[in-house]
């Protein structure tokens, strides 16, 4: 049985209504799926945007906390520093090391003295072994992140000059990071992070949807339901709703209370798969119910036709009887006419 032979005009359903139905009314999946691929992609994009906003706000919150702690450390403990024409100078003869436990960026090593290349390589290897960290030198910044395999190097002059920054000192940094000008920095940072997070999560969620839809396609084959792949894909989008909401909660809580759920990704996929399989089985049940109902209608029509034939047969028989009686009566009358004539002649 083809589930989508004709695309009928579906009633409009708002975003939050779809979220509610996706979680609490699995039987609505075919109806939402029938609204088309465009609606499903739009729904997925909105959820991805919400997730990206939560991640961006959480990241900026953490960065602000780090900056505030950094300002305090810079005021109270860090030596004097100055930057001029691409060269950073920190008033310290030896290196300054901030352990990874005290920094969100990992281990931080500061040394703006003239260094041999071997010493720079040693610092780079040090933060690489730690998994993440920053090396601050007189002319460049070396960053190791957990998300990249190697390290990234930023030259001060090439990075800061396009931004119009040619010189600063310790007090300038403190004043700038403590002032209202940081609001524009946070807004710019939010926009950059949002675009990055939206693209990365959109790719990841789309990949999850495709894998889930293939799983759903196999399920329809096992359940012997004929469905177009695009309909299964649309249903997979809505089946991911609860998993994505749980992911949002997980990210939001992690902003304030860092913790790790070991098998979260497994649960993420399992919940979506359960929703999709349940929707397909409900659809199969509906199809079976409709087939049973159709068989009942056909059987009822058959009985009605047979009764109509019987009624018609009875009417035909009665009509034949009436005609026979009429003929017999006419025959009797014809037979009686001569006798009456003979009596009259006598």
If residue 248 lies in a helix (H) or strand (E), which one and from where to where?
Answer: helix 241-256
Do 120 and 141 meet the contact criterion of CB atoms below 8 Å apart?
no
| Residue 272 tokens, joined | 């979506």
Closest CA to 204 of 240, 233, 230: 240
Residue 144 φ/ψ, nearest 5 degrees: -115, 125
Classify residue 269 by burial, with Cβ atoms within 10 Å: 0-12, 13-18, 19+: middle
**Dihedral angle computed from the Cα positions of residues 220, 226, 230 and 234, in that order, rounded to the nearest 10 degrees:** -50
| Residue 254 tokens, joined | 């992690």
Q: Is the model's pLDDT at 250 over the cut of 80?
A: yes
Per-domain residue ranges for the chain? 1-75+175-336, 86-165
pLDDT (tens digit per residue) in 60-119: 888 888 788 878 888 888 888 888 888 998 888 888 888 877 777 788 899 988 888 899
Residue 203's pLDDT is 93
> Using CA atoms, how far apart are residues 203 and 296, in angstroms rounded to an integer?
48
User: Reduced to 3 states, what is the DSSP secondary structure of residue 224?
Assistant: coil
Q: Note if the pTM is more than 0.85.
A: no
pLDDT (tens digit per residue) in 191-249: 988 999 899 999 999 999 999 999 999 988 888 888 889 989 999 999 999 999 998 88
If residue 109 lies in a helix (H) or strand (E), which one and from where to where?
Answer: strand 107-110
């Amino acid at each position: 049985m083809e589930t989508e032979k004709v695309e009928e005009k579906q009633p409009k359903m708002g975003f939050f209504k779809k979220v509610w139905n996706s979680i609490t009314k699995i039987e609505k999946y075919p109806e939402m799926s029938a609204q088309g691929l465009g609606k499903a992609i739009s729904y997925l994009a909105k959820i991805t945007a919400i997730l990206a906003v939560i991640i961006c706000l959480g990241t900026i919150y953490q960065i602000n906390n780090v900056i505030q702690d950094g300002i305090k450390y810079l005021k109270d403990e860090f030596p004097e520093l100055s930057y001029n024409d691409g060269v950073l100078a920190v008033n310290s003869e030896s290196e300054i090391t901030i352990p990874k436990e005290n920094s969100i960026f990992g281990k931080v090593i500061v040394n703006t003295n003239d260094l041999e290349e071997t010493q720079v390589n040693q610092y780079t290897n040090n933060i690489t072994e730690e998994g993440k960290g920053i090396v601050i030198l007189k002319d460049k910044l070396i960053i190791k992140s957990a998300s990249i395999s190697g390290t990234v190097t930023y030259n001060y002059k090439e990075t800061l000059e396009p931004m119009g920054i040619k010189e600063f000192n310790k007090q300038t940094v403190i004043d700038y990071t403590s002032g209202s000008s940081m609001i524009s920095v946070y807004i710019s940072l939010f926009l950059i992070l949002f675009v990055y997070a939206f693209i990365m999560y959109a790719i990841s969620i789309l990949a999850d949807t495709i894998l889930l839809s293939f799983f759903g396609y196999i399920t329809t084959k096992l359940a012997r339901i004929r469905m177009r792949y695009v309909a299964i894909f649309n249903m997979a989008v809505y089946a991911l709703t609860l998993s994505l909401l749980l992911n949002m909660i997980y990210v939001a809580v992690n902003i304030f209370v860092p913790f790790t759920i070991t098998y979260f990704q497994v649960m993420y996929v399992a919940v979506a798969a359960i929703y999709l399989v349940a929707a397909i089985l409900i659809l199969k049940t509906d199809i079976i119910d409709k087939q049973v109902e159709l068989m009942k209608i056909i059987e009822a029509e058959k009985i009605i036709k047979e009764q109509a034939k019987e009624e018609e047969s009875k009417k035909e028989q009665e009509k034949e009887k009436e005609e026979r009686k009429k003929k017999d009566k006419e025959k009797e009358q014809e037979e009686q006419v001569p006798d009456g004539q003979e009596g009259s002649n006598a």
